[in-house]
Amino acid sequence: MAEHPFTNRLIHETSPYLRQHAHNPVDWFAWGPEALAKAKELNRPIFLSIGYSACHWCHVMEHESFEDPEVGRILGESFISIKVDREERPDLDQIYMTAVQLLTGHGGWPMSVFLTPDLKPFFGGTYFPPVDRPNFPSFKRLITHLAIAWKDRRADAEAQAQELTGHLRTQMRLESVEGTLGPELLRGALSVLERAFEPRHGGFGRAPKFPHPMELRLLLRLWKRFDAEHALAMAQKTLDRMARGGMYDQLGGGFHRYSTDERWLVPHFEKMLYDNALLCVAYLEAFQATGQRFYREIVEDTLAYVLREMTSPEGAFYSTQDADSEGEEGKFFVWTVEEIEKVLGKDEAELFCAVLDVTAEGNWEGHSILNRARSDEQEAKLLRIAEEELHRRLAESKKKLYQVRSRRVWPARDDKILTAWNGLMIAAFAQAAQVLEKPEYSQAAVRAAEFLWTTMRGSEGRLFRTTGIGAAPKLNAYLEDYAYLIDAFVAVYETTFEPCWIERALELARVMIDQFWDEGEGAFFFTGKDHEQLLTRSKDPHDNATPSGNSMAVTGLLRLYKLTGKTELFEKAERTLNVYRGLLEASPLAAGQMLIALDFYLGPVQEFAVVGGGPEAAEALRLIRQGFRPSKVVAHQVTAGDPGPVTLLEEKKSNDGVTTYICENFTCQAPAVGLSKLQDLLNAKR
């Protein structure tokens, strides 16, 4: 292997993204005391570059600019250069992304921000090219200009930084708005979703199109609450088109990050753990709501992908897969007719190509992205074959093509383990285990949850944010790490009914409240009280690609409260909802998960306590889980006894067979003894 002419201090980092830059001729620092002290000592501005390993344009800018020795020389002479992995440090990312959005009106990665030595931003943008373009300076010209400006007009830069910091702190502040928490907020959200919906292809807004799993799950709840058939139709249209489009990996399962076009054909080919976790739950709930086999298959194929390609030997889940292989975006995933004929033979290739839109001219840059315009039923009618035969032949062809694809050069994988994202995937596996009755899903959820509980906790029960292969866990966890994991542990309890998961969720809730709760104004800060002091301490109000930490905190605390009766949890959740009321009314598209939490808060929440064992108890749980009942909690024990922390089970006993208690607001109906009585009660509460 050829030796690298340059090696910088990022070679010692555990983040794959940072290590990718270890041989740049740039004197990179990781964010930390050494770099920040150096900036103050030399009175130099900081060049802060934020990205992540699966980011295509991050790779492009690295190759074009950060591998240029002249760029390295200019940065080394005039700046302290700091490289940050946004997935490790979302606290820094949200602060400085807000600054870039204030400066330019848009954001994205790679993010390029220039700070004073006291960390205040005075200039920023995203990708900068290697040569000048109209209204778009080259990166080399930009840093040369900024170096001169800092030297000759420092007062102007510092004044700009001071003004921008003031706007930034105002922008990131969440103002409470007076009003009640009622269903009118959910009706208002439905109106906004209707206006944003794109009726031809599904989804919200124009290209590029993102999957919006929280909003899709919200639509299912709005359908349920208001009997709004158009809400269900919007959700189904979007779910159908995404799963049949190129944004879904038709061979290997799993979703790519987003679609670059309006019809879900051409994806940005990276795959993120969090997208697949959140979308699995959306498709699972759509399966519960409609009973359509297609949605079940998408969940099963996506979880199979995660187990096969994104699960560590210890059971925790990796973070991302890259968009690029062999230096080209999407090369791993696309096909030609000739390639498919070589694997399948003429006849099977003809059927496969007809169904999956593979043509001689291709649908993307001379190649074909696999996608489906029609359902199995529609294709079977067109081809005049039985639907089951079509299904079988496509499955056999996909298996063969996947094996051949596996011999290609794989996209890089970011194998760091993030607590928050693992929480999302644990919840997805746990909920799928409940609904689809697959024990391997429960086993996957428990293994990952045990890994996080035993490996990602330090002294005083505090969580770490991240770890890597063979590396010690590090970095203080953020609000989202605690909130996602609390919700995941509740889901694991509702899968296994082992009380330890509620005990652990309660312990995490205790630490979360101690570290993050704002007693003065309510709601939770994104960083803990022991976190390093940054430019501002925000509450991360908006959902992005993942739910906001506050919205998941409310979700998890409300579910815990219903199972344990601990009123402090309810009070914190309710107060947070009140803080968010103005955002829910003004910008519901920015708060899908908080609206899901509001729907649960408004109830009625069905509290199921099942006592009894054996096949009859298993069937009772199946009856409860098979329908779409989003506002519910479920507790179970085989025999009456000490319920531990699950007070919903207190004084519940079985009466001559499996007995189910259905309660609302801790008031229970007469117990349903046996399965037929339970089925009658469930039918009455649809």
pLDDT at 1: 41
Confidence grade of residue 54 (pLDDT, cut at 50, 70, 90): confident
* CATH of residue 24: 3.40.30.10
Residue 165 has pLDDT above 80, yes or no: yes
In whole angstroms, what separates CA 636 from the centre of its chain?
30
For the chain, what percent of residues have pLDDT higher than 70? 99
Report the length, in residues, of the chain.
Answer: 686
pLDDT > 90 in the chain, percent: 89
Over residues 220-240, mean pLDDT? 98
Q: What is the mean pLDDT of the chain?
A: 95
Please report whether residue 447 resides in a domain.
no
The pLDDT confidence band at residue 45, using thresholds 50, 70 and 90, is: very high
407, 426, 461: which is the final residue of a domain? 407
DSSP letter for each residue of 171-209: HT----------HHHHHHHHHHHHHHB-TTT-SBSSSSB
| Cβ 475 vs Cβ 466: under 8 Å | yes
Question: Does residue 662 form part of some domain?
Answer: yes
Output the pTM of the full model.
Answer: 0.95
Residue 35 lies in a domain: yes
| 207 domain residue, yes or no | no
139: containing domain: 9-171
Domain termination site, one of 390, 407, 424: 407
**Would 291 be classed as within a structural domain?**
no
Q: Could you tell me if 294 and 280 are in contact, meaning their C-beta atoms sit under 8 angstroms apart?
A: no
Q: Does residue 626 belong to any structural domain of this protein?
A: yes
**Which pair of structure tokens corresponds to residue 374?**
């029609």
**In-domain check, residue 507:** no
**CA–CA dist 607, 634 (Å, integer):** 6
Interval 4-9 mean pLDDT: 88
Q: For residue range 536-590, what is the model confidence (pLDDT) as tens digits?
A: 999 988 999 999 999 999 999 999 999 999 999 999 999 999 999 999 999 999 9
Q: What is the pLDDT of residue 56?
A: 87
Rounded to an integer, what distance in angstroms lies between the CA atom of residue 470 and that of residue 489?
25
User: How many whole angstroms separate alpha carbon 211 and alpha carbon 593?
Assistant: 14
Which segments of 228-369 are extended strands (E)? 258-259, 267-268, 271-272, 320-321, 324-325, 328-329
Per-residue confidence at 3, pLDDT binned at 50, 70, 90?
low
Mean pLDDT of 196-206: 96
CA–CA distance, 339 with 405 (Å, rounded to integer): 10
- What is the per-residue pLDDT across 607-654, written as a single tens digit (0 to 9) for each? 999 999 999 999 999 999 999 999 999 999 998 788 899 999 998 888
Cis peptide before 134 (omega within 30 of 0): no
Tens of pLDDT, residues 380-410: 999 999 999 999 999 999 999 999 999 999 9
What span, in angstroms and rounded, lies between the C-alpha atoms of 185 and 49? 39
Q: Is the pLDDT of residue 2 over 60?
A: no
Question: Does residue 99 fall inside a structural domain?
Answer: yes
- The pLDDT tens digits for 281-299 are 999 999 999 999 999 999 9
Last residue of a domain, one of 358, 386, 407: 407
Q: Count CB-CB contacts under 10 A for residue 46.
A: 25
Q: What angle do CA 254, 483, 486 make, to 5 degrees?
A: 90
Encode 3-27: b = buried (16+ Cβ within 10 Å), e = exposed.
eeeeebebeebbbbbbbbbbbbbbb
Please provide residue 390's backbone torsions phi and psi, each rounded to the nearest 5 degrees.
-60, -45
Tell me the β-bridge partners of 255: 248
Cis before residue 604, ω within 30 degrees of 0?
yes
The total of structural domains in the chain comes to 3
